[in-house]
Amino acid sequence: MTESVESPMGFSAPRRGFLGLLGPARAKERESVEKIMEGLEKQSATYKNIILTRIDQRYVDDVWGEAQVRMTAHLRAGHRVKNPAAYMTRVCINCAYDELEKIKKRAEDLIGDDDTSVLERTDVLLDDSGLMYSDVKAIMAEVLTPRDHRAYVLRFVYGLNAKEIAEVLDWTHDCVRQSLVRADRILNRPEVKRRFRYRPRSSER
């Protein structure tokens, strides 16, 4: 009967040999993850188009980056993915929806009275005249319903289209369109437009 030889670490020689295999195995696993991600990166145009069907162009690159991070973390955690391409499609869609939720939260902060708003309200430019959102927030809150106000901000501050707004607010497409039309009609009344006339700040004169 063959005796096991004790190693300096307290493991028998066969056990130590097994542990020695873990290093190469883990290296091979990392290599496999990198290979999968490289293959997915080659199809980035396809995935970006999928993201674009759910969110505005300006957010596509950020969403794609987040999708890559999530996919890499999922694979490195040891999860087996039979069809990486199909799984990545689902990850991209989920990331796009998550980004829409973040936009909704930022819009609510922008409309609300919380001084710790995610955005600096004075930095939100509404149009080329130099009019800032902070300049008209009180007027918009006064003349628009909260519902129309929220839809208007998502459309003209964050650049979402009607379909995207419907997804963010869980409204129907028709409700969004009606809300935007109603807000636009109210904000274009002569008496309201006069209140929106831009006056340069003293530092700009």
CA distances in angstroms from 55 to 26, 49, 65, 124, 167, listed in the order given: 37, 10, 14, 20, 10
Distance between start and end Cα atoms, the chain? 98
Domains and CATH numbers, the chain: 15-99 (1.10.1740.10), 120-199 (1.10.10)
Query: What's at 29, amino acid-wise?
Result: E
Percent with pLDDT over 70 in the chain: 67
Query: What's at 21, amino acid-wise?
Result: L
pTM of full prediction above 0.75: no
Q: Which of 123, 119, 122, 97 is nearest to 108 (CA)?
A: 119
User: Could you read off the pLDDT of 146-174 as tens digits, one per residue?
Assistant: 899 989 888 887 888 888 888 888 899 99
CA distances in angstroms from 190 to 71, 118, 126, 138, 196, listed in the order given: 52, 33, 18, 17, 10
User: Could you read off the pLDDT of 42-100 as tens digits, one per residue?
Assistant: 999 999 999 999 888 888 999 999 999 999 999 999 898 999 999 999 999 999 999 98
Q: How far apart are CA 127 and CA 156, in angstroms?
A: 9
100, 168 in Cβ contact below 8 A? Answer: yes
Q: How many H-runs (helices) and E-runs (strands) does the chain carry?
A: 9, 0
Q: How far apart are CA 195 and CA 183, in angstroms?
A: 15
Return the H-helix or E-strand segment holding 142.
Answer: helix 133-143
Q: How far apart are CA 106 and CA 54, in angstroms?
A: 18
